[in-house]
């Protein structure tokens, strides 16, 4: 009789272990070389919250109160499927669907956004003028075959839009409108950011993020060609960039 009870209780016990598995177990699916750490972990493996830190030699990023929901059925296919929610208490916030395989492959799609000036300050992004506005990132598809490889991408389809963009010149805010940048992945796993000149500044550029996540290499090449829609205050500042070329454009080319 006791053996029958034990046989009945054993699967119940195993199911209980799975259902109430601590959220900390999520770290098992993230390679140590990826530079991702979890702290202030709450909840279970299936429905939890944590502070997520991402570390590279150049930058440390931290996202607080990141919540997730895990799809249990995906585990039977050797994958972890997460619905992530990054709240507005962070510089970057948004929602994403993330798929991790036990072999370290990553797939993701989502929508993110934030304040332009806060993001520039937080991530030390070079900017000639104090800039403000709202940015949004639509991540249609991102794939990386090995999260621990240090490579940037294998597949990338995304768009960044800066809305109600403004710059401050001599204590005056100058409205510049919207700017759109397309993101893609090259055959060499480089992230390519491209802006076409259909904006009020006639700004166009191609930025290449090469190297590895441990040793990034950033190359920027483009030009700024004022149009009839370019605010006069901005056009007057362009003289500090040097002489325009024969087409009236101010080219730039530099490496970060």
Write out the chain in H/E/C secondary structure. CHHHHHHHHHHHHHHHHHHCCEHHHHHHHCCHHHCEEEEEEEEECCEEEEEEEEECCCCEEEEEEEEEEECHHHHHHCEEEEEEEECCCCCCEEEEEEEEECCCCEEEEEEEEEEHHHHHHHCCCCCCCEEEEEEEEEEEEEEECCCCCCCCCCEEEEEEEEEEEEEEECCEEEEEEEEEEEEEECCCCCEEEEECCCCCCCEEEEEEEEECCCCEEEEEEEEECCCCCCCHHHHHHHHHHCCCCCCCCEEEEEEC
Domain boundaries, the chain: 8-87, 91-255
Q: What would the pLDDT profile of 9-53 be if each residue is shown by its tens digit? A: 334 333 343 444 445 556 656 666 567 787 888 887 788 888 988
pTM of the complete model: 0.84
Q: What would the pLDDT profile of 127-156 be if each residue is shown by its tens digit? A: 778 899 999 999 999 999 998 888 999 999
Q: Digits of tens for pLDDT over the chain (256 positions)?
A: 444 434 443 343 333 434 444 455 566 566 665 677 878 888 877 888 889 887 765 667 889 999 999 888 777 777 888 899 999 999 999 999 999 887 789 999 999 999 999 999 988 887 778 899 999 999 999 999 998 888 999 999 999 999 999 999 988 999 999 999 999 999 999 999 999 999 999 999 999 999 998 889 999 999 999 999 999 999 888 888 888 999 999 999 989 8
């Amino acid at each position: 009789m006791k053996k029958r009870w034990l046989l009945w209780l054993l699967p119940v016990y195993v199911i209980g272990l799975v259902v109430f598995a601590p959220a900390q177990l999520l770290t098992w699916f993230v390679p140590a070389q990826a530079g991702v750490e979890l702290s202030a972990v709450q909840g279970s493996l299936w429905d939890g919250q944590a502070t997520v830190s991402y570390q590279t030699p150049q930058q440390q990023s931290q996202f607080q109160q990141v919540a997730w929901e895990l799809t249990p059925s995906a585990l039977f296919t050797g994958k972890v499927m997460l619905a992530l929610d990054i709240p507005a208490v962070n510089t970057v916030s948004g929602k994403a669907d993330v798929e991790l395989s036990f072999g370290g492959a990553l797939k993701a799609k989502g929508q993110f956004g934030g304040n332009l000036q806060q993001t520039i300050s937080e991530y030390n992004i070079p900017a000639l003028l104090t800039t403000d506005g709202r940015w949004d990132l639509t991540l249609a598809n991102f794939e990386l075959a090995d999260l621990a490889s240090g490579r940037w991408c294998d597949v990338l389809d995304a768009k960044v839009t800066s809305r109600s963009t403004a710059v401050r010149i001599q204590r005056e805010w100058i409205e510049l409108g919207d700017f759109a940048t397309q993101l893609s992945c090259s055959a060499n796993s480089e992230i390519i950011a491209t802006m076409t000149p259909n904006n009020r500044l006639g700004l166009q550029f191609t930025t290449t993020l090469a190297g590895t996540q441990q040793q990034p290499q950033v190359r920027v090449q483009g030009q700024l060609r004022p149009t009839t829609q370019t605010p006069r205050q901005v056009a007057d500042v362009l003289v500090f960039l040097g002489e325009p070329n024969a087409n009236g454009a101010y080219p730039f080319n530099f490496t970060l």
